[in-house]
Structure 1
Amino acid sequence: MNTLVCTAPGELVLEQRPRPVPAEGEVLVRIRRVGVCGTDMHIFRGTQPYLAYPRIMGHELAGEVVSAPTGVDLAPGEAVYIMPYMSCGHCSACRKDKPNCCRNIQVLGVHVDGGLAEYLCVPAGFVGKATGLSLDEAAMVEFLAIGAHAVRRAQIQPGQSVLVVGAGPIGIAAALFAKLAGGVVTALDGRRDRLDFCAEHIGVDHTVDLGPDSAHRLGSITDGDFFDVVFDATGSPKAMEAGFAYVGHGGAYVLISVVSADITFSDPEFHKRETTLLASRNATLEDFEMVVETIRAGKAPTRALNTHSGRLADLPTDLPNWMSPEAGVIKAIVSC
């Protein structure tokens, strides 16, 4: 079968590998679509801290069932999405029903080989029906679920003021589900094109360009109260530290971004505001199912989100181009 291997930073090689044979309890999936995300770009750049090369990237996956174990409600030819976080099921986190932060987690395309290949074997519990979704939409479930999980962690109430810092795909997903939860949402980013996308397709209430007067403008929007909930989706330690100042008294700060850095903040301000600080990692089956229902209901702008498309064989050329801000990529989807 065809596979695309990142052999080293900056090197993508199309390789022929044997078609995998499913072990007991595994579903054999013919991969049809793979969403490209920031993690893949970090792998290509050589800035992903949890990865060893060579690696087959790809964890935003949609495909069709080739075979499934006896007793599993999946039929050959059925469209499916894949939850790429392979949790162990028995560690302390899994026992607390938090498999998204499993102590032994193996993420497809990061810790183990992913889906930029024609076929993939996956344990049945990580394969979900994509009934009513196109294959392109099924490939978007994973990144939308990350935003949905963060919003669920924040327990947003209708009418609360919400700030999303970073209007890339994950920030857009957080803004979408914050709006659906009834929040009054502001997006902050350094790229006007992405802010315009949030206004047009997500319906955010306010957009603010990153700049020297950002804090003043954010304060003006909220009459000086700042925000009940702030999400960071920037991947920037400096931005993550700045975000503490945007949380209003009694508010919550949700860090979706993961960075290889120490994050510092003013303890007096943190205590004065009685800030709730939350990490949000990956997503759960509940989040995936909610996203599927949201797409089926027509509440997610999937057509607008899918800005770029390509083929597996062309990705060595396409990926470097898509990484340029000038390309205007929100979500690129590869056909396998």
Structure 2
Amino acid sequence: MKAIEITKAGEMQLVEREMPQMAAGEILLKLKYVGFCGSDLSTYLGKNPLVQYPRIPGHEISAVIEKIGDAVPDSFTVGQSVTVVPYTNCGQCTSCKQKRFNACRYNQTLGVQRDGAMAEYITVPWQKVLKDEALSDVQLALVEPMTVGFHAVDNGKVTDLDTVMIFGCGMIGSGAIVRAKLRGATVVAVDIDDSKLAIAQQLGADYVINSKDQILHEELEKITNGDGPTVVIEAAGNPITYKSAIEEVAFAGRVVCIGYAGNEVAFPTKLWVQKEMEIMGSRNANPTDFEAVMKYLKQSSLDENVLISRTVEPEQAPQAMKDWSEAPGKILKILVKF
């Protein structure tokens, strides 16, 4: 079968791999679309410390059930359209015991610690397969990347009384914008790319700020009457936005961190203490986040194609990844169509 492999940093190619062998309790999936994630870009650039090469990337999945193994519930049938929860969980660590499976100490994500879904076929334990015939193949491929932003909003305990500022309007930030609006919050989207800010407005952002062209603090002062946003979600992974999140969040506010900054971040502990702010991480997503995104995609009037920058064939994937690596700020989502 065809598979897309990151052979080493800066090198991606189309390869032939053996068909996966299906074990008891597993389902064989035929891939329809797989999205490139920011973690795949980091792997391609040689900046992902969790990856060993060669690696098949991909964990944003749209597929159909090709074959069903033994010991799989009868509710799964051949031909069903599905997506996949791409994380493992051990069930025994402190996170799992609290049912926070997304933060499992021993998690292995498809395409990161183990080979992913950029191939014609994969096998998956039935417990990780989510079926929904009402969603299109493209929508199913957008579920997982949107769940990460949904989960961050959940961690931030966002309500309709909050003003939520979101740093970074990529795919994860887009999910956070959608979820915060569904919670009834006032949403401020911040980025340095006007095209992404235009999409943020289509997703429901009440205010957009280009922090390259506008003075962030002054704009927030006007929007919040000098109080600052009650919740800040950092989805840019930049030391500058990490520091701004601490500086701009309201007193007694919450800062939720999704992005990985490339360098260590120093900030004044005085603000942390004086504001009595909560600073928390947000990793992956839980099953309820998947349910919420799937419900949103079924009920929303949004044309999900606004979230997709390019759709390519497997043969075009290496060039698409090279293009993304050279202009990362211009790409929201690349889908590979199998």
Provide TM-score, normalisation by structure 1. Answer: 0.96
Aligned to 2:155: 153
Tell whether the 8 Å contact from 1:198 to 1:204 is kept in structure 2 after alignment. Answer: yes
* Deviation sequence 1:127-184 (CA, Å, 0-9, x none): 1003211111100000100011111111111131110011111111111111111110
Provide TM-score, normalisation by structure 2. Answer: 0.95
Aligned pair 1:121/2:123, yes or no?
Answer: yes
Aligned to 1:230: 232
Aligned to 1:27: 27
Write the distance in 2 (CA, Å) between the matches of 1:311 and 1:57.
15
Residues 326, 110 of structure 1: alpha-carbon distance in 2 compared, 3 angstrom cutoff: closer
Counterpart AA for 1:115: A
Aligned to 2:142: 140
Aligned pair 1:308/2:318, yes or no?
Answer: no
Tell whether the 8 Å contact from 1:49 to 1:260 is kept in structure 2 after alignment. Answer: no
- Secondary structure at the aligned position of 2:222 is classed as helix
Write the distance in 2 (CA, Å) between the matches of 1:217 and 1:324.
31
- Secondary structure at the aligned position of 1:29 is classed as strand
Tell whether the 8 Å contact from 2:26 to 2:72 is kept in structure 1 after alignment. Answer: no
Tell whether the 8 Å contact from 1:145 to 1:283 is kept in structure 2 after alignment. Answer: yes
The alpha-carbon deviation at position 327 of structure 1 amounts to 8.4
Write the distance in 2 (CA, Å) between the matches of 1:67 and 1:92.
35
Residues 80, 50 of structure 1: alpha-carbon distance in 2 compared, 3 angstrom cutoff: same
Aligned to 1:47: 47
Residues 302, 283 of structure 1: alpha-carbon distance in 2 compared, 3 angstrom cutoff: same
Aligned to 1:203: 204
Aligned to 2:3: 3
Indicate the larger mover: 44-53 or 135-144.
44-53
Write the distance in 1 (CA, Å) between the matches of 2:140 and 2:33.
8
The alpha-carbon deviation at position 10 of structure 1 amounts to 1.1
Indicate the larger mover: 124-133 or 137-146.
124-133
Write the distance in 2 (CA, Å) between the matches of 1:145 and 1:66.
25
- Secondary structure at the aligned position of 2:112 is classed as coil
Aligned to 2:249: 247
Match runs of 1:147-296 below 5 Å: 147-199=149-201, 201-211=202-212, 213-296=215-298
* Deviation sequence 1:259-305 (CA, Å, 0-9, x none): 35433322221111110111110001110011111101125541211
Write the distance in 2 (CA, Å) between the matches of 1:161 and 1:266.
23
Aligned to 1:16: 16
Write the distance in 2 (CA, Å) between the matches of 1:142 and 1:326.
20
Indicate the larger mover: 97-106 or 306-315.
306-315
- Secondary structure at the aligned position of 2:309 is classed as strand
RMSD: 1.6
* Deviation sequence 1:214-240 (CA, Å, 0-9, x none): 112212211110011000001112321
Write the distance in 1 (CA, Å) between the matches of 2:170 and 2:236.
8
Counterpart AA for 1:293: K
Indicate the larger mover: 154-163 or 256-265.
256-265
Tell whether the 8 Å contact from 1:87 to 1:94 is kept in structure 2 after alignment. Answer: yes
Write the distance in 2 (CA, Å) between the matches of 1:260 and 1:27.
37
Write the distance in 2 (CA, Å) between the matches of 1:327 and 1:153.
26
Q: Percent same amino acid among aligned pairs?
A: 31
Write the distance in 2 (CA, Å) between the matches of 1:159 and 1:259.
29
- Secondary structure at the aligned position of 2:253 is classed as strand
The alpha-carbon deviation at position 91 of structure 1 amounts to 2.1
Indicate the larger mover: 127-136 or 108-117.
127-136
Write the distance in 1 (CA, Å) between the matches of 2:328 and 2:130.
35
Write the distance in 2 (CA, Å) between the matches of 1:261 and 1:23.
42
Tell whether the 8 Å contact from 1:35 to 1:139 is kept in structure 2 after alignment. Answer: yes
- Secondary structure at the aligned position of 1:106 is classed as coil
The alpha-carbon deviation at position 89 of structure 1 amounts to 2.2
Counterpart AA for 2:48: Q
Aligned residues: 335
Residues 71, 114 of structure 1: alpha-carbon distance in 2 compared, 3 angstrom cutoff: closer
Aligned to 2:113: 111
Write the distance in 2 (CA, Å) between the matches of 1:300 and 1:142.
17
